[in-house]
Amino acid sequence: MEKPLTQHIVPGRSPLSLKEYEKVGGYQSVRKVLKEMTPAEVQTLVKNSNLRGRGGAGFNTGLKWSFVPMGDNVPRPKYLVANADEMEPGTFKDRLLLEGNPHQLIEGMIVASYAIQADISYVFLRFAYKLAAQEITKAINEAYEAGYLGKNILGSGYSLEMHLHTGVGRYMCGEETALLNALEGKRANPRAKPPFPQVSGLYGKPTIVNNVETLCCLPHIVNNGAEWFKGLSRNKSEDAGTKLYGVSGKVNKPGCWELPMGVTVRELLEEYAGGMKNDYKFRGALPGGASTDFLVEEHLDVKMDYNSVAAVGSRMGTGTMIVLDDQTCPVGFVQNLQHFFAQESCGFCTPCREGLPWVEKVLSSIDSGTGKQADMNILDFHTKYLGPGNTFCALAPGAMEPLQSALKYFREDFERHIHEQRCPWRS
Amino acid sequence: MLTQEEIHQIEHEISLVPHKKAACIEALKVVQQHRGWVSDEDLKATAAILDMTPDELDSVATFYNLIFRRPVGRHVILLCDSISCWVMGYEGLREHLMQKLSIKYGETTPDGRFTLLPNVCLGTCDCAPALMVGGDLYQNVSPEQLDEILSKYN
């Protein structure tokens, strides 16, 4: 089984230095694109590889790039940003790539930057990833010294600057337009789209924001081709490549693994996460972070790829699954999620700012045994009212995904809290 | 009054961006790095360098939860309270910390040693529950281990 993204990552060991990375084929894709390919060819290759954004939205990466204005008479500088602001609760996949092989990310960023002819690139890294910050700083310095960054890279005439920006908190920064505001030294409120960042992004210039895992796929696509990448997935998945999947919760071996796109929920849970811990039973899971709908037992054979998870009413999201077990209260579980979303709302648009705290309070009241039957209507109402189309960005609609699916699959548990005026899991 | 070193570092950050205001988060980070937090007085001095009004800079400073606008202890404890840590029982750590240190969230021990804050997911959910102390990450933490962890910080 091929594991291109994690083949040189050994947990607990320092990442490869630039020299070591070059020995195992590192930076070959940079040489190849600079010497043998036009930016348009790189864009076409990546579009044909069917690489989809690994941050959760799943948009075709090459297609995303294709909206960047190209040619001589376009606004400059153009920017490429690696979104390393991994803050979706339950998500810990990019940390592995950032700490484990920073040169792979830098290599991918150079390929992406060349494809859109970016002049300046940033790694936007969250505060908590201290080790990653050290490793990336070291790797960027090495890449400058070796001539992979800076002016006239490898004599190609192409130049690229790269900087590391470390954040100071707030989940909103992971949303690409909010991230750009944060980079500009503003509050991380999202921006209206259109204009899309590809046309008017950082400082109003054409900008691409790509997730870390997405960027790490690029060197391998350039080296091995689009067909190879499409062939990595399994179970007749419509999606291409490998994926970093994770499992957390009451399982025997929580962790993160690079596996072919299209493994099933059951394989992930049983073969890789080692099944549920003794005495715990599986009740459901959020397949890809806090802002995805629950999957339950009937979905265990669903393939973990974008289209298959979407077909059963959820989203693959980040591919890192959070398991709900039978000894954990589903109301408390959802209350914890809504507390997070209410706290992290940027406060810019009214439904999100006012609605999420209300949802959180109603859930707290049900959870603590003082809920009323009418509270169920309030929750149902909010799943619609804070849903897609009613808010400025995707934060509140994302928050409603676990709530609406919990109300569908675990409704009896909510009702029981109200009827018995207590949490059956606590007392 | 900001020190010459702080001013120098802030001016360096300004030199890296297209206009002064764009360096404001970096400038706040510089001040906090030297002083642990950003006081009203420091905020005003920093705003002046950035050609911003203090209110304008404060609207940015107060948006980001890891820019501290109130004094903090020598070591800030960031306890993850997000979903995977909740499932794995972070509440036991919270109770233990609050009892041991006799403080609540947002408070600092009287000796100025620790400040306790909740934090969103620390991105290490396979090793939950987790917390950070003064920038150091601790994983798979049990209440029993907390005393030993805290003893490393004076």
pLDDT, tens digit, 9 for 90 and up, residues B6-41: 999 999 999 999 999 999 999 999 999 999 999 999
Alpha carbon distances (Å) from A41 to A111, A114, A226:
12, 11, 12
**Measured distance CA(A284)–CA(A297) in Å, rounded:** 7
* Closest alpha carbon to B42 in B51, B54, B52: B54
pLDDT for position A16: 98
pLDDT tens column, B98-137 = 999 999 999 999 999 999 999 999 999 999 999 999 999 9
- One domain for residues A301 and A356: no
Q: What is the mean pLDDT of residues A228-232?
A: 97
* A225: closest CA of chain B, how far (Å): 32
pTM, two decimals, is 0.97
Q: What residues of chain A lie within 8 A of the CB of B24, using their CB? A: 185
Residue A226's Cβ-side half-sphere holds a number of Cα atoms within 13 Å equal to 14
Res B61 pLDDT > 90 = yes
Residue A330, phi then psi, degrees to nearest 5? -65, -30
Percent of chain A with pLDDT over 70: 100
Q: Does B18 touch chain A (CB under 8 A)?
A: yes
Q: In this structure, what CATH number is given to the domain that contains residue A214?
A: 3.40.50.11540
pLDDT tens string A5-47: 999 999 889 999 999 999 999 999 999 999 999 999 999 999 9
Contact of B24 with chain A, judged by CB distance below 8 Å, is answered with yes
Q: Would you place residue A427 in the very low, low, confident or very high pLDDT band (cuts 50, 70, 90)?
A: low
Q: For A140-179, how does the pLDDT look when each residue is reduced to its tens digit (9 = 90+)?
A: 999 999 999 999 999 999 999 999 999 999 999 999 999 9
Rounded Cα–Cα distance for residues A410 and A363 (Å) = 14
Does A216 lie in the same domain as A113?
yes
Domain assignment present for A9:
no
Tell whether A13 is covered by a domain.
no
Query: Which pLDDT value is given to residue A305?
Result: 97
Q: Is A160 part of any domain?
A: yes
Percent of chain B whose predicted confidence (pLDDT) is above 70: 100
Whole-angstrom distance, CA of residue A209 vs CA of residue A426: 44
Nearest to A248 among B18, B128, B135 (CB): B128
* Environment class of B54 (CB within 10 Å of its CB; exposed 0-12, middle 13-18, buried 19+): middle
pLDDT of B58 strictly over 70: yes
Is the Cβ of B45 closer than 8 Å to some Cβ of chain A?
no
Residues A57 and A204 placed together within one structural domain of the fold = yes
Three-class SS of residue B141?
Answer: coil
- At A313 the pLDDT is 97
Residues A385-404: what's their mean pLDDT? 97
pLDDT of residue B139: 98
Domain boundary among A208, A230, A252: A230
Query: Is B48 an interface residue toward A (CB < 8 Å)?
Result: no
Which residues, 6+ apart, have CB-to-CB distance to A204 below 8 Å? A75
* Mean pLDDT within A326-330: 98
Within a domain: A289: yes
Q: Give the pLDDT score at B91.
A: 97
- Helix, strand, coil proportions of chain B in percent (round to 5)? 50, 10, 40
Domain endpoint, select from A324, A341, A362 = A324
According to DSSP, residue A251 is labeled B
In a domain, A388, yes or no: yes
Is the Cβ pair A95, B81 closer than 8 Å? no
A41 shares its domain with A185: yes
Based on the fold, state whether residues A199 and A217 are members of the same structural domain: yes
Cβ pair A159, A122 in contact under 8 A: no
Which residues of chain A have a CB within 8 Å of the CB of B78? 128
Residue A427 belongs to a domain: no
Q: Would the CB atoms of A88 and B121 count as touching at under 8 Å?
A: yes
Q: Specify the CATH number for the domain of residue A364.
A: 1.20.1440.230
The answer for residues whose C-beta is within 8 angstroms of residue A80's C-beta and 6 or more apart is A109, A112, A113, A116, A118, A120, A121, A122, A207, A208, A210
Classify strands B75-80 and A320-325 as parallel, antiparallel or unpaired: unpaired
Smallest CA–CA distance from A348 into chain B, residue = B63
Confidence bin at A310 (pLDDT 50/70/90) = very high
Residue A377: predicted pLDDT: 98
Which DSSP symbol is given to A16? P
Q: How many CB atoms lie within 10 A of CB A9?
A: 17
| Torsional sign, CA A41, A47, A49, A52 | positive
Query: Would the pLDDT of A217 be above 90?
Result: yes
User: Do A130 and A188 belong together in one domain?
Assistant: yes
- pLDDT exceeds 90 at position A235: no
The Cα A234–Cα A242 span in angstroms is 9
Residue-level pLDDT at A236: 86
> Is A38 found in the same domain as A174?
yes
Q: Which residue of B has its CA nearest to A324?
A: B87
- How many structural domains comprise chain A? 3
Same domain membership, residue A48 and residue A87: yes
State how far the Cα of A7 lies from the Cα of A338, in Å rounded to an integer: 37
Does one domain contain both A80 and A177?
Answer: yes
Asked if the bond preceding A77 is cis, omega within 30° of 0, the reply is yes
Residue A411 lies in a domain: yes
CB spacing of A336 vs B83 below 8 angstroms? yes
Which residue shows structure tokens 């130049």?
A159
Q: Which chain B residues have a beta carbon less than 8 Å from that of A328?
A: 87
**A193 Cβ contact list (under 8 Å, min separation 6):** A177
How close is the nearest chain A Cα to the Cα of B40, in Å? 19
Q: Which domain holds residue A306?
A: 244-324
What is the pLDDT of chain A when averaged over all its residues?
Answer: 97
Out of A169, A187, A248, the one facing B60 most closely (by C-beta) is A187
Same domain, A287 and A266: yes
CB atoms inside a 10 Å sphere around CB A254: 25
Residue of B14, B17, B82 to mutate for A, most A C-beta atoms under 10 A: B82
Asked if A401 and A386 sit in the same domain, the reply is: yes
> Which residue, of A230, A259, A281, is where some domain finishes?
A230
Asked if the structure places residue A142 within a domain, the reply is yes
What is the pLDDT at residue B109? 98
pLDDT in tens, B131-144: 999 999 999 999 99
- Strands B75-80 and B131-133 turn out to be antiparallel
Q: Say yes or no: B33 contacts chain A, CB-CB below 8 A.
A: no
CA closest to B78 among chain A residues: A128
Both A215 and A269 in a single domain? no
Looking at chain B from residue 69 to 88, which residues have their Cβ under 8 Å from any Cβ of chain A? 78, 81-84, 86-88
- Residue A268, number of CB atoms within 10 A of its CB: 22
Q: What would the DSSP string read from start to end of A338-389?
A: HHHHHHH--S-SHHHHHHHHHHHHHHHHHHTT---HHHHHHHHHHHHHTSTT
Q: Provide the strand spans (E) within A26-91.
A: 79-84
Closest Cα in chain B, distance from residue A187 (Å): 5
Assign residue A267 the CATH number of its domain: 3.10.20.600
